[in-house]
Amino acid sequence: MKIITFIDSIGRTIIAEEQKSEPLVLSVKNPAMINVVQAQNGQLQVQLIPLFFAEFIEPSTRTEGTTWEYNTQNITRGSVTFDQKLIEQYTRVFNAAAAAPPQEAPVIKLFED
């Protein structure tokens, strides 16, 4: 598994598992946006937010994850050696999503009857 990072055309920093890299197309599996937020104590925290949630995938195929193709002319690739904690967090995000049983979504009423 080769984990890579790049910045997409709208400025999101993406971390993903590289599937295939060609001159015009980068194919990645399970892309997640790296989101940095400030905690109440002033420290910075890193959140990984999947670009596509496993709950939208047929339960029988969730463990396969999702594969996305990016036009290499619209992204900026980075050359980074990741801290092991970030790799572990990335792996947990997608392993937990694949293993999670489907849940019935609550009904939200927008208007009174």
Check which CATH number belongs to the domain holding 47 and give it. 2.30.30.100
**Structural domain for 15, as ranges:** 3-99
User: Per the domain annotation, does 17 fall within a domain?
Assistant: yes
For the chain, counts of helices (H) and of strands (E): 1, 6
| Domain contains 107 | no
What is the rounded distance in angstroms from the CA atom of residue 65 to the CA atom of residue 97?
9
The answer to whether residue 113 sits within a structural domain is no
For position 104, what pLDDT does the model report?
60
Cα–Cα distance for residue pair 61/107, rounded to 1 Å: 25
pTM above 0.85, yes or no: no
Angle at 33 between CA 30 and CA 38, to 5 degrees: 145
pLDDT for res 98:
54
In a domain, 111, yes or no: no
Q: What is the pLDDT of residue 50?
A: 93
How high is the pLDDT of residue 108?
57
Structural domain includes residue 23: yes
CA atoms within 13 A on the CB side of 85: 3
Could you tell me if residue 86 is inside a domain? yes
Is residue 30 a part of any domain in this protein? yes
Residue with tokens 């997640």: 32
pLDDT mean by block of 10 residues, the chain; 113 residues: 93 95 95 91 89 84 89 94 92 74 58 61
- The verdict on residue 41 lying in a domain is yes
Number of separate domains in the chain: 1
